[in-house]
Structure 1
Amino acid sequence: MNFFRRPRVFDTTIVVVLALFAGLGLILSSVQTGVDGALGSAHFLLTSVLLLVRRSRPVLVAGAVTAFDVIGIAAGLVTSATVPEAIAFYSLARHSSGRPSLVMTAVGMAAYGTVMEIKGPGIGQFLAGAFVVAIPAGIGALVKTRAELHERGRRAAADAAVQAERRRIARELHDVVAHHITVINALVGGARATLAPEQEVTREALESAQETARQAMSEMRRLLHVLRADGNDGPDAATGVGADRLPALIGEARSAGLPASLTVTGEPVTLPTAVDHAVYRIVQEALTNTRKHASGARASVRLAYGSEAVEVEVLDDGVPQQGGTPGFGLGGMAERVALCGGRLTTGPRPGGGFRVHARIPLEAT
């Protein structure tokens, strides 16, 4: 049954069924009623074939069927509106909207009403001709309205489910991750307080760790605010991250013990929000991976602005550590770049180290 619910299959089936009736009528009319009956059946067949494009060209189909029916009624080939006419005007209201649909419906009502009144004088004939258009068009409009309301309800339910899931994630982040970051910050602060005065290097490292933990908590709070909000701007909308914060990110990496540098080429431009966030997160994740998996490595970041695209590249010269649990960083990068219409390449460098390169077009966003 699902096979026949496909639009093209369903429309073809309708036309085939109507064509069979038209063919049978054509044969019987040729034998019993002569040329006029055969022309009437041919007229029915022609208007039926037009229904093959009733979804893609509803206004054209309704206009063509109206023209053929008016000519057929005036010539005496048919006595009234036909089944193809009802389907055509139902499709007009169901699959079209706006002024063209309304104008075509009004034209159809006037045309059928006028030709019916000419064939059989009287206001009743005119109204009958108008109703043969108004009724299927009204049914089509009703079905369209119900379908739109159903789709709107489905989308509302999906949005509600997404919002509920975002709030659940926000609760988990607050109750678990934020708690652990707070504990780490407190432990680092306690350890720093117990250091001897001469342990200055260790003190600086702990201060950097404590500052990083505070920044993580600040960003976590902003992210929780976004997750709890009803907007659809994405989880980075209110975090304040972007290409302009890359120098600060490089500074944080240096404070954490990773020698890193930043090179910017081209004329800096204001990036679309999604691209701006993606650039920052790619560099952030790449530097994090270097610290985790290539101890003692040096990293370099290159941000290149172009007229059609922005490129970001992160290189390191480290030797990957064996073992460890793979994370989701590279997959997350690929998803961000793909959503912006760009391309991401990652992998070992021929001379050693690792390379992350993303090219994101500006027009695609």
Structure 2
Amino acid sequence: MEHRVVPLRLPARAQDVLLAVFITVMQVQGTVVRNAGEVVQRPLTDLGYAGYGLLVASGLVLVVRRRWPVAVFLATALASLVYYALDFPDGPGWLGLFVALYTLTAYGDGRRSLVIAGVGITVLTACWLVAAADIEPRAAIGWVFFRIGASVMSAALGESVRSRRVIAADAQQRAELAERTREEEARARADAERLRIAREVHDTVAHAIAIINVQSGVTAHVLDKRPEVAREALRVIEQTSSRALGEMRAILGVLRGDDGDHDGRKPYPGLGQIGELTAKARAAGLDLRVEEISPAVPVPSAVSGAAYRIVQESITNVIRHAGPTRVTVALKAGAEDLEVRVSDEGPQTPSGNDRANPPTRDPVSLAEPGRGIIGMRERCQLLGGELDAGPLPGGGFEVNARLPLVPNGSAA
């Protein structure tokens, strides 16, 4: 069994405590060792051990460097100014200041932290140079320039670390956003596909069921008196149900994604099948008239299929709500769009004993469009078109649709 080695990592507060103790020891011991045996202007023990106090304070204050980076920097900078202004001996007493500068820019907020660091380094430089005006030997002034350069480098290093951290966080955020976007797009495509399939199934099944319902009623009414009419109605039922099953198989074949057998699939119906559709509508008892103007340019398959479904759904609604009546289907193809209009005259007064009582159109269904009208409107909107449907003033119902020949809607 493979054992995974987990690296030991101390908490941030413990790290800062250890760092503060280390820096304090280095500043005190380093300064003592460096000036051992030398004559200095002011020893660390002068002024009540003020030199030791400044070195210890500038080191221990690093314990809270992450929590208050600005305050820690100001404290270490002030300790350094006082230390060198009082002519205490030079040494590594600037280590705490360098760590504070790094912390200020690494854990700061960018521009504000850089401004504070820049102003602080400028003030420190001026004070250090003034304090070293009479330094002896003169070569020792090189340590002053070392402190200046190291301060600038500490601030620059902290800003570099902060920038890399910000860039990494932005990259992580962009990756998460891209992942969420891909998931949302996948869900949107799945929802759109489900909606498309629902429309296809609704249009296919609803139209077939409506015709079968009417023809079944006719068959039951005339079976004994006029068997030839009943036989014709049964033939229409058989053809309609067979066609519906064929279209359902085509839809299910697309869902399965079968690539081996394309011959068994029928293409989606379009304007070329309008004649067959209207013939079945006439067989269902509609007095249907088609007004068609041939298109000047080829009609895209998406537009042709949408126009077919709109006519199919409109005829289905007429059969379902009005029964046998006069229907006009007008197809007018212009240079830029295809206009589809399906209107009926409403329920007709039955004459004779062989006609079943037609259903009356429910006024509620006129005020509240069903899923069929909603589906037709969605088809138009997907292609950048528009659809209006509503009752006519003199009775009846009309559906008007405009489908651009160059789709510019959401599907484009």
Q: Which residue of 2 aligns with 1:142?
A: 172
Change over 3 Å in CA distance of 1:151–1:329 after alignment to 2: closer
Q: Using the TM superposition, give the Cα deviation of residue 73 of structure 1 relative to its aligned residue in structure 2, in angstroms.
A: 9.4
Q: Does 1:284 align with 2:322?
A: no
* Alpha-carbon distance in 2 for matches of 1:157, 1:328: 22
Q: Does 1:345 align with 2:375?
A: no
User: Partner amino acid for 2:346?
Assistant: G
* Alpha-carbon distance in 1 for matches of 2:318, 2:378: 20
Residues 20-49 of structure 1: CA distance to partner in whole angstroms, max 9, x if unpaired? x9xxxxxxxxxxxxxxxxxxxxxxxxxxxx
* Alpha-carbon distance in 2 for matches of 1:315, 1:201: 27
- Kindly indicate whether the alpha-carbon contact (under 8 Å) linking 1:314 and 1:357 is maintained by their aligned counterparts in 2: yes
Q: Using the TM superposition, give the Cα deviation of residue 229 of structure 1 relative to its aligned residue in structure 2, in angstroms.
A: 4.9
Aligned-pair identity (%): 36
- Kindly indicate whether the alpha-carbon contact (under 8 Å) linking 1:308 and 1:363 is maintained by their aligned counterparts in 2: no
- Kindly indicate whether the alpha-carbon contact (under 8 Å) linking 1:309 and 1:359 is maintained by their aligned counterparts in 2: yes
Q: Using the TM superposition, give the Cα deviation of residue 260 of structure 1 relative to its aligned residue in structure 2, in angstroms.
A: 1.9
Instruction: Could you tell me which runs of 5 or more consecutive residues in structure 1 were left unpaired when the two chains were aligned.
Output: 1-20, 22-50, 52-61, 81-118, 231-236
User: Partner amino acid for 1:143?
Assistant: Q
* Alpha-carbon distance in 1 for matches of 2:342, 2:377: 14
Q: Using the TM superposition, give the Cα deviation of residue 126 of structure 1 relative to its aligned residue in structure 2, in angstroms.
A: 6.3
State the secondary structure of the residue aligned to 1:217.
helix
Structure 1 segment 287-306 matched on structure 2, within 5 A: 287-306=315-334
Which of 368, 373, 391 is the aligned partner of 1:330? 373
**Whose helix proportion is higher, 1 or 2?**
1
Q: Using the TM superposition, give the Cα deviation of residue 217 of structure 1 relative to its aligned residue in structure 2, in angstroms.
A: 0.9
Q: Using the TM superposition, give the Cα deviation of residue 297 of structure 1 relative to its aligned residue in structure 2, in angstroms.
A: 1.2
- Kindly indicate whether the alpha-carbon contact (under 8 Å) linking 1:318 and 1:354 is maintained by their aligned counterparts in 2: yes
Structure 1 segment 227-246 matched on structure 2, within 5 A: 227-229=255-257, 240-246=268-274
- Count matched residues: 242
Q: Which residue of 2 aligns with 1:259?
A: 287
Change over 3 Å in CA distance of 1:338–1:150 after alignment to 2: closer
Task: Specify the structure having the higher radius of gyration (Cα).
Answer: 2
- Kindly indicate whether the alpha-carbon contact (under 8 Å) linking 1:223 and 1:238 is maintained by their aligned counterparts in 2: no
So what's the TM-score if we normalise by structure 2? Answer: 0.46
The alignment yields a C-alpha RMSD, in angstroms, of 5.0
Structure 1 segment 35-184 matched on structure 2, within 5 A: 76-77=118-119, 120=149, 130-153=160-183
Residues 118-166 of structure 1: CA distance to partner in whole angstroms, max 9, x if unpaired? x837988765554442221122112221333344456657877999x89
* Alpha-carbon distance in 1 for matches of 2:403, 2:168: 48
Q: Using the TM superposition, give the Cα deviation of residue 79 of structure 1 relative to its aligned residue in structure 2, in angstroms.
A: 5.5
Q: Which residue of 1 aligns with 2:335?
A: 307
Change over 3 Å in CA distance of 1:153–1:347 after alignment to 2: closer
- Kindly indicate whether the alpha-carbon contact (under 8 Å) linking 2:291 and 2:329 is maintained by their aligned counterparts in 1: yes
So what's the TM-score if we normalise by structure 1? Answer: 0.51
Structure with more contact order per residue of length (Cα contacts < 8 Å, sep ≥ 6): 2
Q: Using the TM superposition, give the Cα deviation of residue 219 of structure 1 relative to its aligned residue in structure 2, in angstroms.
A: 0.9
Q: Using the TM superposition, give the Cα deviation of residue 314 of structure 1 relative to its aligned residue in structure 2, in angstroms.
A: 0.6
Change over 3 Å in CA distance of 1:155–1:294 after alignment to 2: closer
* Alpha-carbon distance in 1 for matches of 2:311, 2:398: 11
Structure 1 segment 169-208 matched on structure 2, within 5 A: 199-208=227-236
Change over 3 Å in CA distance of 1:162–1:249 after alignment to 2: closer
* Alpha-carbon distance in 2 for matches of 1:78, 1:238: 80
Q: Using the TM superposition, give the Cα deviation of residue 273 of structure 1 relative to its aligned residue in structure 2, in angstroms.
A: 4.9
Q: Using the TM superposition, give the Cα deviation of residue 337 of structure 1 relative to its aligned residue in structure 2, in angstroms.
A: 2.5
User: Partner amino acid for 2:172?
Assistant: L
* Alpha-carbon distance in 2 for matches of 1:143, 1:357: 48
